[in-house]
Structure formats: C-alpha cells, structure tokens
C-alpha cells in the first residue's frame, strides 16, 4: 500500500476569497489539519484548477481535501478515481448562510476554518475502496409472472440485449389479462375498448431467442445475491431446473378481492358478480347478447363502484380495502360498453361516489355517455341478488334514499396482490418455532408453500410488504426498489394500477434490473449510492455477537457464519451504514465511511471554552434529504446560525451514539439530527434508517442524565429535500433554545 500523501486545495472563487480570510484557512489546513501540501486557486473547478490537482495526484498525492463548494456540487469536475477525497463546504455551508457584516465576520471565519479542519481530519481516515468486481457475474434477468407486466418486462429487457427467464405458474402466458375480452383504451382516440394484444405479446416472446419460458412452474428456492442469484424452478411434473440470474423482477399480478366477503353488497348471491365474472360472461357471449347464468338475456345492469374499497369513503358499508384500486372505474365504463355495443337498448348504470379515470380516461368517459351509459353519484346501502336484483342507495345529488332494479349487478372489487408470505406473520411463527413449539414448526413449512420467491434469507422467504400485501418499495424516490437488493416489483404486486400503468411500471422495473446486473458486475452499490465501491467489514475479534447488525439491516445483507459472527453479503448491501450505527462496540466500518471518519470531524472542531460564550452545535444531516435542503438554504441565501457544524451522514440509521457522547463530552452544547420521514408513509431512502435512529435516540436520555445534561440538548427532526426554509428556521430556533438552556457544563 502506497504511503499516504495529503494535500488541501482552497478555492477563492464564488465570493469565498472576498468574504473569508484565505490565509487563515490555509493555516487551519497546514497547522491544525497537518496537510503536507496546501494550495489556493481562484477557480478550483475550472480546467486549470482541476489540472493542478491531477498533476499533484500524478506526483504522489493520495488523499486530498477540497475546500470550496458543497460535496453535492461540481461532482464531475472533482472526480479523481483512486484517491481519497473529502469536501469542506465553504460556499453553501458558510458564506451563503451567514449574514454579512462586521458582527458576523469573526464567527463566519471560525465556521470556515472548522470546516477546513473537519475535511482534513476526515480524509486521513478514508481508505480508497478497491471494489468487489465479480468476473463471473450473471446478467440474465428472471421475471416471475407471465402476465402483461411480466411479459412487458421480459420484452423490454430482451430488446435491450439481455437474456431473460420467465417463470409462470399457469400453463400459458397472459395472466389475468388473458381472460379479458378487451382492455381500456391505451392509445388515441381513447373512445372504444381495444384488443388486449396478449396473444401477440405471447407469440413475440415465443419467437425471441433471448427469452426462456417455464410454464406450469414455480420458484422453489432463491439463493445468492445480485449478479449470482441461484434459482430452482419446479414444474408440475416434479422436474426441477436450476437457473443462474443477476436480477429479479417480480410481476405476479393480483387477484380480485373475494366477492363472497361483500355480503352487505350482495356478494355470494345469484346474479351479483364481480368485474372478472362479467368478463367471463362477455367472453362466453362472443360479441352477442350477454346472458346470466340462468340463460336470461340481460336487459338492465348496475355497476357498483368502490365495492368494499376505500373504507367508509367508498360504496361499501364495511372497511375491506382502504385503498382505491385505480382501474375499476375505467373497467366498468369498458364493460358497460360491452352491453351497449351488443344492444343499445340495455339499461346500463354506473353508480359511483367518485369517478376516477386516469390518463385520457375523460375521453373514454364522454364516449360512454354518448352511447347512453348512465352515471349516477350515489352511495349504495344494500344489494339484493336473485332472479330480480335490487340496489338500495342514497342519491348524493338529490340527497334522498331510493332504489333501482336490475337483471345483473356488477361489483367493482379491489386488487389484492399475489405477494406471498407476510414476513411479520412469518417472524412471529419462527420465533415460536425457535422456542420449541412443534405446531409453529409445522406452520412454517405450511407458510413457505405460499411463498413466491422462497428466498434463502435470514429475514424470511419473501419480500417485506405493506399492510395489504403490496411490495414495500420507496414510492417517491425509487418506486421499483424492494427491500431485497436486485429484486424489483412491477405491476399490481407493487401498487394498484391499470394495464397501461402496469406496462409502464414493468418497463421501469426491467431498466432497474438491468442497472442492478451492471452494478453487480462492477462491484458497485445499488441506488441511491450507485457509484459506491465500498462495502462493510467487521473486526471480528471485537464482536460480541449481539446480532443487532443482522437484525437491523433493512436489506437482508448480513447473515451469520457457523460461529455466529456477522457475514456480509456485499452485493446485497446498499451502503447505508445502518449496521455501523447499530454496533455497540463499533467494530463495523466502510473504507470511506466509518466511526472514525465522522468521529475525527467532530474532534477537529475548535470548541470554545466556557468563558467565550459561543455555543458549538453539531448537526448530523442525512445526505439524501437534509443535507440537500441545507444546500438549498444556502442557494436561497437564507441565514442560519454560525454556531452550527454540519456533517453529512449516509443515513440517520448509520449514526452511532458514540458520536453524540463524544461531542457532548468534548464540550459541544448540543447535537441536532435531521433525517427523512419515518413511518408507514416513510421517505427514508434506506427504508428503516430514520425509524431505527429514532428508536436509538429515544434511549439516549439516560446517558444525558448520567452526564448531567438536559435531554433537550439532543433533538431529531424529520425533513424533506424541499424544506430549505424550514431547516434554516429549525437551526435558528435550536440555537436560541440552547442559549436559553445555557452553555454545556462539560466545557473545559
């Protein structure tokens, strides 16, 4: 390993040199930072400045600190592979957020010099990641499910030049869409139902040499990681085939909600069907008059929207599904046209509380009106089936109770994802089984039969799910990502959607799968740190085998070896650092991010003594939302306290409590944390990071009491990337609060 040679580069452009004492910054880097070389440049990011750095690297510099703009700016200009780099944020983090004027000059200079010291201290603890290149990495993509989502994903990947394996449990491709007469229009003029195109898609797949199809098959085991998933595929005959793939798209579709559970809406009674049931009747009619099961030609039909959906806000009296399934309104319009196209005299009534037709659905709705389909805004109270059906409802326009007779009632039931085992239930049963409960042991075997992927993961055989079984994915930032790296959800297994949305969704998932196999081959992380070549390591001689890292990892990236030590699966790892924050003995680290890289920054700050009456506040800011919001505050020239020292962290889940106790012990007056929103509608880029940090911080009160400090000195806020005004206010309010509490008694 080459000897470390350090250098600091200070930019004076963008007003930095006009506002700050550059000689003081140079002194902070040379004297306190102990950097071997310190250079200043008027515009460090221009060709001349970049070339100066490259020349120094060629001359042996291995670790450099760039004191200029935010680490989020000029990333291409300041990209120097093979060397350790830190960034001291003087522009967005100092001169743009501290108001100008003689009263602020001194504290602004202190702030800037601290950031230079922090950057110098950080880079000395950085090891340049060597990567984890897998020469034997597979780039094949597995698609589980052969419906319209699965076929779309397979064709998208194959068209991009990648080999695809499809596993479909039925004996033919097509999924739910195979049983549809027509689909809601997906191209102009959006006036008529259109052919599904399922047969053509299946034929295209059959003729594509890059796509291999397993019909009447299921996945019985998924082991490995991105780039090297080992899949066992079992056919109905009992034969088992093994496939090696690099990424997986789960497109297992949905099942309509059980109509028999909607007894208040006539579910289970004669001549009350769901939308799937009506498709079967229309298929049997083959374009002619649609008839009931008793052979009677249907002359009047009522479509009941939101049947059992949207809780009390829908037409159903009971809460079955709280969500809207997205496609149902347009599907009812389509099915009403089945009747009108066969016989314009058929009475067709669509009863709704809200009519939702995304995309160009408005044109489709107008077309149905022109054909004579009646749309009634009403809340259904009761449905009676039988030879003569009756729908009792409250007319929401006239605000009166009334009823309508019909030959057939169609309930627009919701989508229930075909998602596999609920891991919350699985974990509870496994805990009992581990305790020796024989019934629980038997139940785990039975539960696993319902698994889709049959993952060989410590965390269970399937992907984590939301409340109603949809795959847990980050809806805002990374919609196809699941909590199993390299495995992507597409179509109605991810969220309720119509066919057109499912095809768009499947194309996106296929692109993410392609990205995953390419990253795996190069040893890089998945999003959001797709450039990161680092991965965690543990100093096992110090490990206490507490299992906190294996339990808290949101992505199932840590297993246990035969001695019960943590075993890192770097291809699954997303480099969030949650394991590092969880470790009570601080033996887990990354080459370029560790307890020491942050700890050294905290120690590098010049903390005023008790007589200077200047607070020093530490801010640990999530790099995904909070730190960008701080940058935006600078760009908007929003002033906040110069007593703050901000350190970006990969995720609040990576925050180790030693950083907080070390800071307070060193005389910091308070510690503030800013991270993403947690909870059911979380925005945390690493899913559980904010939640885990909140749980850990809830227990820090005892530590503060032992130190003789007030609990209010350590606070956490949830912020979004757009909260630039709010973060400035939060910092200022916090600084005011600390002044009111008083300076820390831990100062020297």
Range from 7-16, 47-56, 372-381, 739-748 carrying the lowest mean pLDDT: 739-748
Find the mean pLDDT for residues 44-66: 97
Tell me the two tokens of residue 683.
């925005």
In the listed set 128, 155, 175, which residue is the last one of a domain according to the structure? 128
For residue range 56-101, list pLDDT tens digits in order. 999 999 999 999 999 999 999 999 999 999 999 999 999 999 977 6
In the listed set 96, 128, 160, which residue is the last one of a domain according to the structure? 128
Reduced to 3 states (helix: H, G, I; strand: E, B; else coil), residue 235 is strand
Res. 102 pLDDT band, cuts 50 70 90: low
Determine, yes or no, domain membership for 196.
yes
- 651 within 8 A of 577, measured Cβ to Cβ: yes
Q: Are residues 487 and 502 in the same domain?
A: yes
- Alpha-carbon distance 45 to 53, whole Å? 10
How confident is the model at residue 317, as a pLDDT? Answer: 47
In the listed set 499, 522, 545, which residue is the last one of a domain according to the structure? 522
Say if strands 347-352 and 558-560 run parallel, antiparallel, or are unpaired: unpaired
Determine, yes or no, domain membership for 475.
yes
How confident is the model at residue 318, as a pLDDT? Answer: 54
What is the 8-class DSSP label of residue 728? H
Determine, yes or no, domain membership for 554.
no
Tell me the CA distances in angstroms from 146 to 221, 251, 480, 562, 748, one per residue in order: 18, 7, 18, 39, 68
Nearest to 455, CA basis, from 429, 475, 431, 426: 426
Find the mean pLDDT for residues 115-140: 90
Q: Are residues 261 and 396 in the same domain?
A: yes
Residue 52 has pLDDT above 50, yes or no: yes
361-370 helix and 328-342 helix, angle to the nearest 10 degrees: 30
Q: Are residues 89 and 61 in the same domain?
A: yes
Determine, yes or no, domain membership for 340.
yes
Q: Are residues 245 and 276 in the same domain?
A: no
Residue 635 has pLDDT above 60, yes or no: yes
Residues contacting 698, CB < 8 A, separation 6+: none
Find the mean pLDDT for residues 504-527: 93
Sign of CA dihedral 672, 678, 679, 681: positive
For residue range 428-440, list pLDDT tens digits in order. 999 999 888 999 9
Q: What is the CATH number of the domain that holds 68?
A: 3.40.50
Output the average pLDDT for the chain. 93
Core vs surface per residue 400-412: b (16+ CB within 10 A) or e: eeeebebbbbbbb
Q: What phi-psi label fits residue 367: left (phi over 0), alpha (psi between -120 and 50 degrees) or beta?
A: alpha
Reduced to 3 states (helix: H, G, I; strand: E, B; else coil), residue 690 is helix
Range from 149-158, 340-349, 361-370, 699-708 carrying the lowest mean pLDDT: 699-708
Determine, yes or no, domain membership for 218.
yes
Peptide bond into 369 cis (omega under 30): no
Determine, yes or no, domain membership for 427.
no
- Alpha-carbon distance 671 to 675, whole Å? 13
Q: Are residues 497 and 518 in the same domain?
A: yes
Q: Are residues 299 and 379 in the same domain?
A: yes
Q: Are residues 280 and 386 in the same domain?
A: yes
- Residue numbers of the domain that contains 173: 141-253+463-522
Q: Are residues 40 and 86 in the same domain?
A: yes
Determine, yes or no, domain membership for 282.
yes
Determine what percent of the chain falls in helix, strand and coil, rounding each to the nearest 5.
35, 20, 45
Q: Are residues 153 and 244 in the same domain?
A: yes
Q: Are residues 156 and 236 in the same domain?
A: yes
Determine, yes or no, domain membership for 601.
no
- Alpha-carbon distance 126 to 532, whole Å? 13
Tell me the two tokens of residue 570.
């770097």
- Alpha-carbon distance 518 to 512, whole Å? 10
Residues contacting 295, CB < 8 A, separation 6+: none
Residues contacting 51, CB < 8 A, separation 6+: none
Q: Are residues 178 and 264 in the same domain?
A: no
Domain count, the chain: 3
Q: Are residues 165 and 122 in the same domain?
A: no
Tell me the two tokens of residue 334.
């389509």
pTM equals 0.91
- Alpha-carbon distance 11 to 89, whole Å? 11
pLDDT above 70 covers a percentage of the chain that reads: 98
pLDDT above 90 covers a percentage of the chain that reads: 85
Residue 103 has pLDDT above 80, yes or no: no
What's the burial of 161, exposed, middle or buried (CB within 10 Å: 0-12/13-18/19+)? exposed
Tell me the CA distances in angstroms from 60 to 5, 8, 56, 117, one per residue in order: 7, 14, 6, 22
How confident is the model at residue 130, as a pLDDT? Answer: 83
- Alpha-carbon distance 747 to 594, whole Å? 26
- Alpha-carbon distance 532 to 592, whole Å? 9
- Alpha-carbon distance 359 to 367, whole Å? 15
**Direct distance between the N- and C-terminal alpha carbons of the chain, in angstroms, rounded to an integer:** 40
Tell me the two tokens of residue 128.
């340049």
Q: What is the CATH number of the domain that holds 218?
A: 3.50.50.60
Res. 135 pLDDT band, cuts 50 70 90: low
DSSP string, 116-131: HHHHHHHHTT------
């Amino acid at each position: 390993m080459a000897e470390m040679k350090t250098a600091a580069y200070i930019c004076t452009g963008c007003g930095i040199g006009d506002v700050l004492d550059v000689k003081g910054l140079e002194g902070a880097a040379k004297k306190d930072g102990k950097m071997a070389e310190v250079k200043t440049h008027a515009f460090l990011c221009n060709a001349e400045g970049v070339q100066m750095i490259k020349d120094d690297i060629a001359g042996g510099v291995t670790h450099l600190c760039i004191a200029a703009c935010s680490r989020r700016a000029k990333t291409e200009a300041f990209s120097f592979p093979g060397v350790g780099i830190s960034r001291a944020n003087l522009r967005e983090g100092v001169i743009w957020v501290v108001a100008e004027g003689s009263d602020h000059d001194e504290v602004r200079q202190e702030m800037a010099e601290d950031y230079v010291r922090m950057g110098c201290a950080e880079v000395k603890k950085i090891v340049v990641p060597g990567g984890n290149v897998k020469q034997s990495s597979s780039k094949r993509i597995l698609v589980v499910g052969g419906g319209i989502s699965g076929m779309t994903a397979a064709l998208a990947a194959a068209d991009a030049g990648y080999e695809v394996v499809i596993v479909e449990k039925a004996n033919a491709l097509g999924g739910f869409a195979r049983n549809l007469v027509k689909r809601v229009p997906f191209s102009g003029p959006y006036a008529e139902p259109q052919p599904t195109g399922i047969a053509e898609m299946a034929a295209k797949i059959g003729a594509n040499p890059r796509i291999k199809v397993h019909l009447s098959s299921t996945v019985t085991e998924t082991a490995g990681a991105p780039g090297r998933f080992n899949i066992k595929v079992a056919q109905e005959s009992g034969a088992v085939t093994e496939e090696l793939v690099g990424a997986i798209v789960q497109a297992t579709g949905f099942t309509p909600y059980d109509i028999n559970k909607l007894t208040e809406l006539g579910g289970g009674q004669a001549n009350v069907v769901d939308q799937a049931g009506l498709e079967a009747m229309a298929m049997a009619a083959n374009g002619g008059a649609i008839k009931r099961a008793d052979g009677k030609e249907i002359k009047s039909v009522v479509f009941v929207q939101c049947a059992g959906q949207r809780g009390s806000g829908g037409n159903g009296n009971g809460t079955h599904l709280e969500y809207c399934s997205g496609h149902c309104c347009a599907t009812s319009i389509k099915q009403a046209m089945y009747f009108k196209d066969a016989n314009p005299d058929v009475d067709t009534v669509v009863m709704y509380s809200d009519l939702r037709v995304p995309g160009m659905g408005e044109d489709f709705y107008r077309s149905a009106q022109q054909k004579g389909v009646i749309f009634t805004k009403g809340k259904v109270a009761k449905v009676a089936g039988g030879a003569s059906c009756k729908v009792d409802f409250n007319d929401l326009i006239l605000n009166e109770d009334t009823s309508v007779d019909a030959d057939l009632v169609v309930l627009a039931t919701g989508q229930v994802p075909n998602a596999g085992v609920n891991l919350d239930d699985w974990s509870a049963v496994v805990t009992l089984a581990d305790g020796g409960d024989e019934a629980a042991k038997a139940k785990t075997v039975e539960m696993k039969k319902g698994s889709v992927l049959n993952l060989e993961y410590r965390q269970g055989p399937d992907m984590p799910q939301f409340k109603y079984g949809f795959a847990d994915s980050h809806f805002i930032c990374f919609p196809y990502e699941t909590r199993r790296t390299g495995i992507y959800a597409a179509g109605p297994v991810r969220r309720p959607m119509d066919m057109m949305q499912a095809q768009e969704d499947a194309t996106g998932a296929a692109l993410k799968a392609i990205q995953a196999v390419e990253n795996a081959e190069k040893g890089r992380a998945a999003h959001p740190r797709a450039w990161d070549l680092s991965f965690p390591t543990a100093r096992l001689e110090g490990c206490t085998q507490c299992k906190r890292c294996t339990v808290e990892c949101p992505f199932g990236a840590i297993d246990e070896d035969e001695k019960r030590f943590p075993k890192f699966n770097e291809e699954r790892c997303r480099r969030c650092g949650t394991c590092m924050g969880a470790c009570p003995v601080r033996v887990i680290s990354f080459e370029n991010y560790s307890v020491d890289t942050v700890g050294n920054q905290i120690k590098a700050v010049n903390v005023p003594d008790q007589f200077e009456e200047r607070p020093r506040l530490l801010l640990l800011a999530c790099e995904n939302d909070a730190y960008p919001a701080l940058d935006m505050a600078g760009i908007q020239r929003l002033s906040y306290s110069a007593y703050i020292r901000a350190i970006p962290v990969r995720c609040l889940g990576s925050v180790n409590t030693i950083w907080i106790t070390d800071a307070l012990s060193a005389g910091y007056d308070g510690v503030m944390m800013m991270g993403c929103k947690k909870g059911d509608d979380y925005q945390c880029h690493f899913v559980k990071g904010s939640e885990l940090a909140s749980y850990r911080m809830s227990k820090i009160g005892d530590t503060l009491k032992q130190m003789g400090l007030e609990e209010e000195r350590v606070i956490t806020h949830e912020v979004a990337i757009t909260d630039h005004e709010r973060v400035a206010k939060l910092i200022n309010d916090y600084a005011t609060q600390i002044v009111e509490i008083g300076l820390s008694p831990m100062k020297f």
